[in-house]
Amino acid sequence: MKRHECARRIGACLIFGCACVLYAARGYADWEAVPDIRLEAETNDNPSLNMVGSTQLVDSASRLLADAAVRFSMVEPRGELTFQPRIRADAYAEDEAQRLESTDVFLRSNGVHRGQTVRIGYTADIASERILGVEFLETLPTEPIGDDPTAIVTNQVGINEKRTRFGVSPYIDIAMNSRTSLLLDGRIVDVDYASEVFLGRTDFLERAIGGEYRRALGDQRGTFGVRVFATGYEAAINANTTDTRGIELKYSRDMSELWSWNISGGTQRSDYAFTTGGRRIRGTDDTPIFGLGITKRGERSSMRTEVARRMSPDSMGFVAPRDEIRVSWQRAMSARVNGGLALRGVDAQGTPTVGGNGQRYGRVELDIEWQLRPTWSFVAAYAYATARSESLIANDDGSDSNAVTIGIRYRGRSQRPPGTAAP
């Protein structure tokens, strides 16, 4: 039944996207396609990011990875529309690692229409990928649908399990006057796993709705906001139903043309009921939530840091606190060479009343891109990942992974003047 519901939601999203395309058909001449293609060779000392005791499920392995995406975008004076299909495939050299091979497909879309005082938009994504690809959590996830909370369970990789994820997030931004605005938004995330998967993962559905009142302060450099929200969560494996509601205060400020910072704090209450050991357990938890971030935007370098605590759903059948830190830094070392550093740490604490559902994850990435021609580049990267899980089906001591990648990248160039490209 849940798969039929997911299919209907995906169909609704596609219908909505097609309607947007038809609406914009008169501007077909303004559509632009920009490809982004990568062909890489990677060696990894723990490609499954998992161990049984002190034994890795798959030893060190090498693979070829192809990743191709095309961004179709249309820009009009009052709006933009973007579709980005993507496909990712790999091939391992070692026979024992070939069971990890997969072909993953993605589709992302976003659009916005601007009126005189109202801005209406949406973001949506569909992803069908193997669980192993999910477990290597991205250091810089795509916003604003939200980060993927299902990616750090680190179950055993005995079969090439598949996961389908659908998300859509519409919003309305209303300018009430020159200093005050009101944001209304919603979100649906629907996750389905392939049949015959390992015990511990579950299909789930999350729904959310919220509103935020924002006001620019007297000096026009600071903004204060109040946000209220409510969410609903349903999981199949333990018949979990969790409803939450919360309030959050936000403040952001531009310190200079380059530097800005933001801080937020609030509380979130969750009412949950789930089945375990043949018994129905009910309870209520109050969790403090917060966020602190600093951003730098310069001509040659940019930086973003964020520390936050949120209540997040997971694939183990719960909604639980999740602490996270993210750091990203990018710099143009010369006219043709760019470098970057990204760090991410996640501590998903799990539900206090249920043991064995906490997880920890960390990832560090170093990358460099050397532009050989305007559209061709040489790329190289190093990534370290570590995962710890309290799950009985995973290794409590955790797993570590080191990966080195080299390759080439073809990135098309937009023909639009600067400042008019679609997001």
Note the pLDDT tens digit of each residue in 251-296. Answer: 999 998 899 999 999 999 999 998 888 888 898 999 999 999 999 9
Tracing tokens 């470098």 back to the chain, one arrives at 339
**Extended strands (E) in 179-278:** 180-193, 204-216, 222-235, 241-254, 259-276
Mean pLDDT of all residues in 19-42? 74
Q: Is the pLDDT of residue 8 over 80?
A: no
Q: Are 121 and 170 in contact (CB under 8 A)?
A: yes
Nearest to 150 by CA among 132, 168, 123: 132
For the domain spanning 2-411, the CATH number is 2.40.160
CA 270/CA 276 separation, integer angstroms: 18
% residues pLDDT > 90 (the chain): 45
Q: If you average pLDDT over residues 182-193, what whole number do you get?
A: 91
Residue 305 has pLDDT above 80, yes or no: yes
Give the per-residue pLDDT at 145: 44
Res. 384: pLDDT tops 50: yes
The DSSP code for 403 is E
Interatomic CA distance for residues 168 and 9, integer angstroms: 9
Does the pTM surpass 0.75? The reply is yes
For the segment 386-391, the average pLDDT, to the nearest whole number, is 73
Q: How many other β-carbons are positioned within 10 Å of the β-carbon of residue 420?
A: 11
Measured CA angle at 172 (ends 168, 175), to 5 deg: 155
Question: How large a percentage of the chain has pLDDT more than 70?
Answer: 77
The answer, yes or no, to whether residue 423 has pLDDT greater than 50, is: no
Question: In the prediction, which pLDDT does 350 show?
Answer: 64
User: What is the 8-class DSSP label of residue 357?
Assistant: -
Give the Cα separation of 200 and 240 in Å (integer). Answer: 14
The residues, ordered by sequence, that sit 6+ positions from 170 with a Cβ below 8 Å of its Cβ are 120, 121, 122, 185, 186
